[in-house]
Amino acid sequence: MKEKPPAALVDFCNSPAANMHQLPLPAVRLKGGFWLGWLERIQQVTLPAQYRLLEETGRLENFRRAAGSPTFPGGSFQGYYFNDSDVYKWLEAAAWGLALADPAPAKELAGQVRQVVKWIAAAQSSDGYLDTYYAGTRAGQRWSNLRDMHEMYCAGHLIQAAVALQRSTGSRALMRVATRFADHIHQVFGPGKRAGICGHPEIEVALVELYRQTRRRTYLELAQHFIDQRGHGLLGGRAYYLDRLPLRDLERLEGHAVRAMYLCAAAADVYAETREPALRQALERLWQAMIATQVYVNGGLGARHEGEAFGAAYELPNERSYAESCAAIGGVMWANRMLVWQDHSPAARAGYADALEWMLYNAVLPGMGLDGQSYFYTNPLADAGGYDGAGWHRRQPWYDCACCPTNLVRFLASLPAYFYSTSAEGLWVHLYGQGEAEVNLPGGLGPSMKVRQETRYPWDGRVRLEVQPAEDLVGPYSIFLRLPGWLRAGDIRLDLNGRAWEADLQPGTYVELRRTWQPGDVVDLELGMPPYWLESHPYAVENSGRVALGRGPLLYCLEAVDQGDWSAWPGARLQDVAVNAAVLPAVQDAPGLLGGVTTLRMPGTVEPPHPAWQGRLYRHVPAGADPDRSSLITLTAIPYYAWANRAPAAAPHHWAMQVWLKKER
């Protein structure tokens, strides 16, 4: 008989340094509003489409081949050596999908999951090792190139899929496979054993969650060992592999951005279990340095195509930004783990939650197309759209290296887990979205409270919470509501049962409503959502003299297709558009555009270069300014997450897009 699964995404319940706990996934139901459409597409489109692609590209066949299936005699491994990880990420996404889906529509998905788990189990070696690239004739090469071959990385994703399946469905079939592999790794590596760490962090965060699931401390100790060994030259001492310095000695993040995020998320997990002060100090220092000098205006991470890496402080090129979708997912993972620590002030917690929300809407979500089956690997903040063969950054239905598509679906499938947490004081509301939550407050034996959100967020800042406490809920409890940092002071209103709640309502913190809750209590929160202009630090030189546009939790951009007829400005480019940052745009709902969005409309000018620049790259500075060649234009901005989801504009602008806009002269 299957045990009743605890379905929390990250289980902080017994973590000594954490005083917040996520709600189990089935306890949060997003009904209507912005997010329901995304979750339905994942169930109905993304998971089936990715399963077909896993089959068509040989990723599933690799497991059958490794198991010696007579259906594929003599077959060779297909694809990249880390392709097993894509199957595991799909399984994790399917697990969270099963936790949220109604049983009947999920019947086919559940059958696919059972079959894939059987293929994986059949491919496992008798000693517990599992990697289909090293099956058969390559078996003697196992663990021979830890720097490049991703064996532990794949193992980490296997472990996370196994934990997800046990928590979502109660099935232990994949968990038996994962623990055997984890035990094999523990037999080979660790203190007093073979020295070595994986070139791509991932095993560490998985081992901590495996420890939380099984309470076997050897897994936590092995994760800590791998973190401690990094930075001591086991991978050649290169920053790309996060091996130049130990994590505790770094002043700012460097190297491969995705790997850095996974390592920091794992270190945050280890701190939650060990309370090691030096680890917390390092993580807080690195977080603050990243937020202050290394994060794109959309929350994207990783400035350089070379090495998919962080750049120097303030190195944030726009059209050449890398900002891999997986790095943004890693950033959300890290923020989520820092958020729960003890000894945080409400404002400190809100800082992590603000970053989590901003990255979610503006750095993660752009990675998946509105059709649910097209993707961005990298996320530039400008695209020339066809000039001189430049630009043309288009969504793809798949990649040979498919880490981003499978990572996006596993993350978005787990999204409801990020909305709420509980603590000894009560319920924390981190994100706003229409739906319901069933809350077990600490110490309770059953559901303590039901909360229903009604809102059009992120298009509208009005949020209504209807509270229904259980009959046996005794004493006062608090509900903490996040007041996002993008708000302006004075743009917040909070009522309880129609009467103003007396509190200092400041952006960038949580407001606490503490009371003995009664059935039918209603909290009305109104977050003002006027558009706002953003500017960047002067050292971010690419953005000098430019502004970006936001509203609520969303970053906006201009796409050429929305800007009308460009024939009046021959030779002009979208990057020639200029705006008056002293004027706020008009807000306009567009229910038929891009699945239903709110657009921002504003006057602007087109300011192409003076003809004197024709054929020149440089010139002497003229004594006076060039004559004004600007022309008036009405501009329409759309949410950045939704760009590149339509047919192109007329040539030569094609798919041109711009986030940072020139200020009018």
Rounded Cα distance, 403 and 420, in Å: 28
Q: Residue by residue, what is the 3-state secondary structure of 17-32?
A: CECCEECCHHHEEECC
> Look-up: residue for tokens 């000039």?
387
> Hey, what are 259's tokens?
């790997």
DSSP single-letter state for residue 549: E
209 contacts: CB under 8 Å, gap ≥ 6: 10, 11, 159, 160, 163, 269
The answer to whether the CB of 498 falls within 8 A of the CB of 534 is: no
Cβ(15)–Cβ(272) under 8 Å? yes
Chain centroid offset of residue 385 CA: 26
Contact 211, 273 (CB under 8 A): yes
Q: How far is CA 655 from CA 377, 546, 579, 632, in A?
A: 17, 21, 20, 22
Q: Looking at the annotation, which residues are catalytic?
A: 308, 403
User: In the block, which residue shows the tokens 């319940």?
Assistant: 13
Is the peptide bond preceding residue 652 cis, with omega within 30 degrees of 0?
A: yes
Dist CA 86 CA 60 (whole Å) = 10
DSSP bridge partners of 421: 22, 428
User: Do the Cβ atoms of 449 and 473 come closer than 8 Å?
Assistant: yes
User: Of 380, 425, 429, 373, nearest to 399 (Cα)?
Assistant: 373
* Residue 405 CA, distance from chain mean position: 12
Cα 100 to Cα 33, 42, 415: the distances in Å are 16, 11, 11
Query: What span, in angstroms and rounded, lies between the C-alpha atoms of 109 and 97?
Result: 9
Question: What is the spatial distance between Cα 509 and Cα 350, in angstroms, rounded to a whole number?
Answer: 5
Written as one string, the DSSP assignment of 617-631 is: S--PPPSSPPPP--E
